[in-house]
Amino acid sequence: MDKAMNKKQLDDPELSPEIKDTISELKKRVQMEKSNMLEEQSPESAMWSDLLETYRKLKESKPSDRSEKARRMAVAITKYEDLLSWYYTMVLMDFEG
């Protein structure tokens, strides 16, 4: 369910306050479970998640024009992809080649 639909459902005037409270409580529980899952991750898996988040931010921040900055960002993204592939292979998969 996407966030827009979820927000629309919570704003529905036909929903009782009890139902809205229940939905809010369930959302809090889901968030707590997600936090607990992250805490249970190995340090390497947690780092992988952080690396992927940074990669997404790099991709989002790259200008869409053909400027010098866009070219430099493309190079930075390519080098970061190299780092991701090395980390995945050598650290997460424990390559022993």
- What pLDDT is recorded for position 7? 59
Compute CA distances 68 → 34, 58, 60, 77, whole Å: 40, 16, 17, 14
Domain membership of residue 11 (yes or no) is: no
Domain membership of residue 72 (yes or no) is: yes
Mapped to the 3 state alphabet, what secondary structure does the chain carry? CCHHHHHHHHCCCCCCHHHHHHHHHHHHHHHHHHHHHHHHCCHHHHHHHHHHHHHHHHHHHCCCCCCHHHHHHHHHHHHHHHHHHHHHHHHHCCCCC
- What pLDDT is recorded for position 58? 96
Domain membership of residue 9 (yes or no) is: no
Number of domains in the chain: 1
- Note down pLDDT in tens along the chain; length 97 residues: 455 555 556 677 777 887 777 878 888 888 877 776 666 788 999 999 999 999 999 999 999 999 999 999 999 999 999 999 999 999 999 888 7
Domain membership of residue 97 (yes or no) is: no
Domain membership of residue 61 (yes or no) is: yes
Domain membership of residue 84 (yes or no) is: yes
Residue 37: domain span: 16-92
Domain membership of residue 1 (yes or no) is: no
Domain membership of residue 79 (yes or no) is: yes
Identify whether the C-beta of residue 27 lies closer than 8 Å to the C-beta of residue 9: no
Residue 6 is encoded by which pair of tokens?
């979820």
